[in-house]
């Protein structure tokens, strides 16, 4: 596995992967030394993340290799079907997986998503529209949803 650290508008992102795919993308609260050399196997991921933050990319096209249970992988795959700029509730996610009774398990798998932004767990919100839990912090979830919104806040000055 190869690792690199890049700067994003939300902090330092840690990317782990190899030729079998990207295993993990996470956001760090602690300061980390940025990578001077980018491993070839992670280059496409970094390029696409930078394009996402510049509003030049709405859907990632990467070889992914997350580690998890079969159910978690099923949830993460379903998350990838949520369109850019849209949100769904945890209940809707469970129903899409075929059983509304799996809402807690689906929410738990959502929270264990190892592929920050690429697998868009930030697009899942509470049934009442609230920004419930987010491993990267609710301020980051709000930022990402605003970033993807077609109704961007315009400065009056």
pLDDT, one tens digit per residue, over 129-145 is: 888 877 788 899 999 99
**Residue 154 pLDDT exceeds 70:** no
In this structure, are strands 21-28 and 88-89 parallel, antiparallel, or unpaired? unpaired
pLDDT tens digit string along 50-69?
A: 999 999 999 999 999 999 99
Mean pLDDT, to the nearest integer, of 83-93?
A: 95
Which residues are marked as active site?
A: 121
The span from the CA of 152 to the CA of 55, in Å, is: 12
The span from the CA of 92 to the CA of 80, in Å, is: 14
- Dihedral over Cα of 6, 122, 1, 39: its sign: negative
Task: Say what the pTM is.
Answer: 0.89
Question: Which H or E element spans position 5?
Answer: strand 2-8
The span from the CA of 28 to the CA of 94, in Å, is: 29
The span from the CA of 67 to the CA of 133, in Å, is: 21
Contact 61, 87 (CB under 8 A): no
Question: Which H or E element spans position 2?
Answer: strand 2-8
Residue 24 CA to its chain's centroid (Å) = 10
Encoded tokens for 114: 């190892």
Torsion of CA 105, 111, 114, 120, to 10 degrees: 100
Q: Residues 12-28, buried b or exposed e (16+ Cβ, 10 A)?
A: bbbbbbbeeebbbbbbe
**Residue 156 pLDDT exceeds 90:** no
pLDDT for 22 equals: 98
């Amino acid at each position: 596995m190869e690792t690199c650290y890049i700067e994003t508008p939300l902090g330092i992102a840690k990317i782990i992967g190899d030729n079998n795919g990207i295993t993990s993308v996470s956001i760090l609260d602690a300061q980390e030394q940025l990578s001077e050399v980018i491993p070839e196997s992670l280059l496409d991921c970094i390029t696409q993340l930078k394009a996402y933050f510049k509003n030049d990319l709405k859907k990632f096209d990467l070889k992914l290799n997350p580690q998890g249970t079969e159910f978690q992988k099923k949830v993460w795959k379903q998350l990838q079907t949520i369109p850019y700029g849209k949100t769904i509730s945890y209940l809707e996610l469970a129903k899409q997986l075929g059983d509304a009774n799996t809402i807690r398990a689906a929410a738990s798998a959502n929270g264990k998503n190892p592929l920050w932004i690429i697998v868009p767990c930030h697009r899942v919100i509470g049934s009442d529209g609230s920004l419930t839990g987010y491993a990267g912090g609710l301020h980051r979830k709000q930022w990402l949803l605003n970033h993807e919104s077609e109704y961007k806040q315009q400065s009056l000055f």
